Structure 1
Amino acid sequence: MPITPEQSVWFAETFTKMVDNVEQAVLGKNHVIELVLSAMISEGHILLEDFPGTGKTSLARAVSQTVDGTSSRIQFTPDLLPGDVTGITVYDQKKGEFEFHNGPIFANVVLADEINRASAKTQSALLEVMEEGRVTVDGNSRPVGLPFLVIATQNPIEQAGTYRLPEAQLDRFMIKTSLGYPDRAATVRILEATADVKQDLAPVVTPQVLLGMSDLARQAYVNPLLFDYISSIVEATRTATQVRMGASVRGARALTKAAKTWAVAHGRTYVTPDDVKLLAEPVLSHRLVLDAEAEFDGVTANAVVAQIVLDIVPPARNDLV
């Protein structure tokens, strides 16, 4: 059933309230907050490549408080084991039976801090839960609950003692972005109100309302010409001369889902080419593997996607009506 204009207006108003609420704790990062909340509503996950002290933990906590959910933080280190993430089964001598103790992954918003510092075995423990929303331990499968958002971070500077995320893991993240340092105006606001930057926020929506927003976003209209436009962009990432491996079908689906949510969040019942163009870089760039020569020449995946978006002519608005 298509989303109605009245529903899109309610959705946009609620989305704006959520963004404004989170921005009380993370000043001057409106666009990044919109990306994070869009990913959560689209049932995706976020990868933040950022420097220390940019507010990643504050962002995760603020998002969970805004949706009246639970949050947890996992500090990834080389000695972290898969059971430290998912939980373990322990034998209770009094009861004479095994009991499962939930790991920190059982939360609505999970901050996986410096994920590339853990071994590949521990990183892979996130694969199933990020894709399917459930954890399997000792043959028993347990859902982590909904909504569920993983915000993983990695430091772009320090590479010693890190394990590069494999392509299969990167492909599980809907969006890769960066908080970055605040601009001067935001920094001044932070310094002027150091004691007043809110750590505890009032909830704006319940988890059930957020799930309802996810259902509404899926009903946004996408013209068949836009499906072809998205397919053209994804295919172009595979044939670009600087690229060894392009975006997958999962990347195309992620771009479509994110564009639907973005459209409704901005008061529309339909997706436009501008929605696709705006989201192409954060959704697709981390899925590309550049060849060695291109990397040596300083080419970035963001630049490749940006050029592809410039080269491919989108469908005209008159054709989309």
Structure 2
Amino acid sequence: MPETAEATKATAAELVGRHFRVRDHYDVGREKVREFARAVRNNHPAHHREDDAVALGYTSLLASPTFASVIGAATTRTLIGSVLTEYDLSQTLHTDQVFEYFRPILADDRLSVDVVVESIRSFGDNDFITAKVTFTDADRLPVLVSTTTIVARKGVEIDPSMVETVAGVVMHGHVAQPGEFDGDPTGLVLLAPEEVVEPAAPASPRGVRTVPTAATVTAGTELPAAQMPVTRGDLVNYAGVSGDPNPIHFSDSAAKLVGLPTVVAHGMLTMGLTAAYLTDWLGDPSALGKFSVRFSGYVAVEPTAATTVEFTGKVKSVDAETGTATVVIGATSEGKKLFGRAIAEVRLS
């Protein structure tokens, strides 16, 4: 099997369409499921208690809808750091995130992770890179597909003072260098075309037990508005639980170096809170079929005061025949929109 080091000889554009596999599988731990659910306020009992998961028809705890970001974000960082080496990870911004669910990730799942560079589009000095990450279980059945778009700048000189500041506050951990993959379980391996195998067809989705039903929900139905406070402690906790090393989420010095007024919440933390708002309404976290967000704003969090995030939602359409609905979600902080778009496709009882 060709090593990723061989791929680094190619330009980013030449790598579009190439498939990679994370060297080692990911074992989903029960306590990791619980701590991530706490970090993103996913309070449904099926994330925390086995008997409640069994009541929904599953054998173990259900991971939160955005749990895959823990694995996917690490995969994207490895992709930038070891394959798409024309870019600097510090000069990237997460712009779009889509999750397509075949079933919930469960505690005790053993997941294989494949990634393909779907497209690279250039606009001026910026490249928009879209990568699709496919998670499959031990039977090679698809569990979830995560599609991430980031904007990256090439050929940017990094201010030495920024490097020094970041070095003083960054979360430490081993980061593989280009060509260094021996012993790195998160390293990527380039697949030859004949090694790319489509996952087997997933089983038919289980029934759901939602509070709103296809019979009671109509186009225009509004979800109850909700508010969630976000503090610096929430940001530090999420940084540790998710493994996100970007210091703009916990260091004022790092945030101000990139032009931010203060520390800001992770985009994926905001998406996780939005998933909590949505599944609180649904009453069944396994009812999500697809969840997509385009990030357009940020949640600024001061040192000693919580920032409130406000959520609203409205049903855009309902298909009574299939028992599905499309929900549009809004999120604001200090009067500013956080999403250019946030849409969920859900199944209803």
**Structure 1 and Structure 2 fold alike (TM over 0.5):** no
Give the alignment's TM-score, normalised by structure 1: 0.27
- Whose helix proportion is higher, 1 or 2? 1
RCO greater where, 1 or 2, for CA within 8 Å and sep 6 or more?
1
